[in-house]
Chain A
């Protein structure tokens, strides 16, 4: 089964992450970590007229957490920020091809989604605290 998890695409994104680095003119940056295993992810977003114009991530951790973050940046690049609200856990797991991850590893795969959702909430909250209320559930997802 390990062979199924650590497929070429996961190893590729792990070793050659896309959109990795800092973003000088980011509108929002959020950091979070998984205290259980120490995986860390930072997400930086540049947003214009509700469109994700640029997204970069920084982080360190296991192949699953880092590949998942890399693939997530590709998934949402140039998409409306509002898309993030509707992104479901299953979509992420399908996106990285790991729908059968056990409970011990699923948090690794979903850490970047959590940080992206927190980034979205912060982006709206910074601009309009009232509008951010409708995203409260998103920040409590995990």
Chain B
């Protein structure tokens, strides 16, 4: 294995799933990390340890197990706050996934602050999770949803953004820091600065950026940020919502029930303090606890190194893909402007057919619209193939991808 910034062979030992042999005699080549990443033993062990040794509900009982479980659960919250450099631990809310985190903002802050004829600005490369909640809200309120366009190289048309802001009616900007299809990394600081000059808050969909690069909410000064544990070595079923404390304190509750209350009377309820006010019902305790180990794992590697590793492998893959005849790559060709998410098409091979051929060689790629049908319309394609990398991927795996691409071209007689 070639030497890079990370000791990838050592990292791979921590992920038992990467030793799997699939479809005949092929070692698994897992290149679907933008959908979900694999989990290191440390995360799997943390979940098992909770169920074996201190399984209990949290925030209520006074017995020993409840105390340990509550501590472990809140420990994850503290680690997340540090990981993204939040000012206060109570700015971190647990949800089921990033989608629910965005919906939480739409239904609480959005219901209160978006009114008739107001504008919510998003981009053409948003994931459906950052489109549909705003469609529902703006339709309900008689407000408008406007899209910052994407140019042919995969960059945002910031002129559109300026134009919308000049209307004076924009009340929220909601934007992915990294596109899950094009890989484009946006100029987040600048986008937020321009919005803030006009007093407009910004929500960041960090589902693709937080797992792959250093993210600092104080430095970007975003008002809201949503991301997912399972895309960064953690378990499924844990979403994270960051909200600036001064905004969070004014937000009405989302889901009502236990744990989000202080006092409940027949006709009236006093809500709990933040962040608990937004966490009704028994949460996903085991997986939140497991997520702490994922954060520890990433911190030990260092997010700068994660980014550097992906930069190297993306550069390598971009060069290799560009050598494949008839192949179209979507998104920026400069690896410094994009993450390790590569979408492409080859001739008239439909992505599902390509993914089927890849699968037979043990290569897991994603094919389809990637929950970004608005972007597919913009690119004028029905689907793309997508290979996405993480800390355990190697240049040798990119070589396998390229090899199978050539086989697919032969099968389709291209």
Contact = CB atoms under 8 A, between A and B. Distances in A.
Residue among B353, B357, B368, B376 with most chain A CB within 10 A? B353
A18 to B, nearest CB: 17
Interface residues of A, number: 21
Given A1-B360, A15-B348, A6 B367 contact: no
Interface string B340-376: 0000000011111100110010000001110001001
Given A2-B360, A60-B382, A61-B382, A37 B352 contact: yes
Contacts, number: 49
A64 interface: yes
A64 B353 contact: yes
A132 B84 CA distance: 59
B367 A37 contact: yes
B352 A108 contact: yes
B377 to A, nearest CB: 11
B383 A11 contact: no
B360 A63 contact: no
A19 B388 CA distance: 38
Contacts of B1: none
Contacts of B367: 37
B383 A6 contact: no
B88 interface: no
Contact of B356 (A14, A61, A105): A105
Nearest to A7: B411
Contacts of B413: 11
Interface string A60-98: 111110000000000000000000000000000000000
Contacts of A11: 412-413
Interface of B: 348-353, 356-357, 360, 367-369, 373, 376, 382-383, 407-408, 411-413
Interface of A: 1-3, 5-6, 11, 14-15, 36-40, 60-64, 104-105, 108
Given A2-B357, A37-B368, 9 more contacts: A2-B407, A2-B408, A14-B348, A39-B352, A61-B352, A61-B383, A62-B352, A64-B353, A104-B356
